Structure 1
Amino acid sequence: MKKPSSVTALTEFGRTRLSKSFFMRDFLFSDVAAIHGIANVPDNPDIAIAAGSKLCELLLEPLQDRFGRLAIRSAFRSIEVNGFCNEMQRAGKSGYTCASNDRNFAGHIWDQPDRNGGIGATACIVVPAFWDHFQAPGDWRKLAWWIHDHLPYSYLEFFPTYWAFNIQWHEKPIRQIYSFAEPRGWLTKSGMENHEGSHDEEWTGIVEACKL
């Protein structure tokens, strides 16, 4: 598929169904792109579709099935959008929180393989029902451990507001969880004692609570 270069082509691309609940258009909005008039369109649509479909089918759909509607905060970024955002961040501008393009290939930049040739896709999401029931300090860990025990994620990164988090699918998952919410730092990664086994004592009851 060619890069969409007209309203008609972008409309058709946005209609691409990635899973039972999600379409490509759900992931194309960018605050940075909207404010600065930059087209947030993939150069390689087929790669974006392949990676995004895995993100939706294997991670977002199971989350939504268990916890209710997901809110997409940020997802696909074109090279141009992410690069501009990162430039603003390095210049100290408030509100711009994008890593470099190289670090975001196969992350928020869905349509570019990473330096090892792997493809992946990241979305920043909020699980409203979980936030409504679990707002105590450190409660984000309940959801993090549930995902760790149930889903084939590659990387999770949590934030304080609404327990928003980046969730990444990658064809070669690293299975790491980091948080900017307290307690800040690594929750788990390969080599840590808590990485293997079940963590049901951390998350038991959260699915039922979110359905009340």
Structure 2
Amino acid sequence: MKSPKSVPALEDLGRVRLSPNFFMRDFLYSEIANLYGMPNIPDDPDLAIAAGTRLCEELLEPLNATFGRIAIRSAYRSPSVNAFGNANRLNCASNEANYGGHIWDRRDAQGRMGATASIVVPWFAERYDAGADWRSLAWWIHDHLPYSRLLFFPKLAAFNINWREVPARRIDSYVAPRGCLTKPGMPNHEGGHAERYAGFPSLRLA
């Protein structure tokens, strides 16, 4: 598929179904692109679709099936939108750091395909507002899903969830306690952590 250059072509891209509950259009909205009048369209739709499909099928669909509807806060960013966000300090990492992340249609420096979405799990957001620890959801995902990286934020317990070929299996957070929760080689990385998320639903697949 060529990068869309017309409204009908962009509509066709938006209609691409990445998984049972998600379409490409769900991931193209960007506050930066909206406010500054910039197109947020993949240069390589086929790569974006391939990476997004793995993100949806392997990570977002199980979350959606287990916890109910998830909310997408941010997802795909074109290289131009991401570069603008980085240059203007709009919470975007550099393009190189986001290849295989928010920039779905570029492989990372190791040649790995990947895709990131920033999401909120409303089921958990309600509990987080009532005092639940963000780490309980992080450990549930760690034990159940083939994520590459997670990064948690203070508002709504939103988090970036990344799928990537050859996953890093690392969790970081801007919520206290800030920093790295786990990564390969840390004593807490292996084994189960069920005691950290007592009362959570069992994994359900779409």
Q: TM-score, normalised by structure 2?
A: 0.96
Kindly indicate whether the alpha-carbon contact (under 8 Å) linking 2:139 and 2:196 is maintained by their aligned counterparts in 1.
Answer: yes
Q: Distance in 2 between matches of 1:147 and 1:180?
A: 17
- Find out whether 1:5 has 2:5 as its counterpart: yes
Alpha-carbon RMSD across the aligned residues, in angstroms, is 1.0
Q: 1:69-102, CA deviations, whole angstroms, 9 ceiling, x for partnerless residues?
A: 000000000000000000001xxxxxx1000000
Kindly indicate whether the alpha-carbon contact (under 8 Å) linking 2:128 and 2:157 is maintained by their aligned counterparts in 1.
Answer: no
Alignment of 1:1-212 (within 5 A): 1-89=1-89, 96-135=90-129, 139-207=133-201
Deviation at 1:129, TM superposition (A): 1.1
Kindly indicate whether the alpha-carbon contact (under 8 Å) linking 2:128 and 2:156 is maintained by their aligned counterparts in 1.
Answer: no
Deviation at 1:207, TM superposition (A): 2.2
Q: Distance in 2 between matches of 1:108 and 1:17?
A: 19
Deviation at 1:134, TM superposition (A): 3.2
**Aligned residue in 2 for 1:92:** none
- Structure 1: which 5+ residue stretches go unaligned? 90-95
Q: Distance in 1 between matches of 2:164 and 2:132?
A: 27
Kindly indicate whether the alpha-carbon contact (under 8 Å) linking 1:137 and 1:182 is maintained by their aligned counterparts in 2.
Answer: no
- Structure 2: which 5+ residue stretches go unaligned? none
SS at match of 1:207: coil
SS at match of 2:115: strand
Q: 1:162-211, CA deviations, whole angstroms, 9 ceiling, x for partnerless residues?
A: 00000000011000000001111111001110000000000121227xxx
Deviation at 1:126, TM superposition (A): 0.2
Q: Distance in 2 between matches of 1:170 and 1:138?
A: 29
Q: Distance in 2 between matches of 1:19 and 1:82?
A: 25
Amino acid at match of 2:13: F
Q: TM-score, normalised by structure 1?
A: 0.93
Q: Distance in 1 between matches of 2:171 and 2:69?
A: 22
Q: Distance in 1 between matches of 2:134 and 2:185?
A: 22
- Identify if the C-alpha distance between structure 1 residues 129 and 205 changes in structure 2 by more than 3 Å, giving closer, same or farther: same
Q: 1:89-128, CA deviations, whole angstroms, 9 ceiling, x for partnerless residues?
A: 1xxxxxx100000000000000000111111000000001
Amino acid at match of 1:26: D
Kindly indicate whether the alpha-carbon contact (under 8 Å) linking 1:122 and 1:166 is maintained by their aligned counterparts in 2.
Answer: yes
Deviation at 1:139, TM superposition (A): 1.0
Kindly indicate whether the alpha-carbon contact (under 8 Å) linking 1:106 and 1:170 is maintained by their aligned counterparts in 2.
Answer: yes
* Count of residue pairs brought into register by the alignment: 202
Q: Distance in 1 between matches of 2:170 and 2:148?
A: 7
Deviation at 1:137, TM superposition (A): 5.1
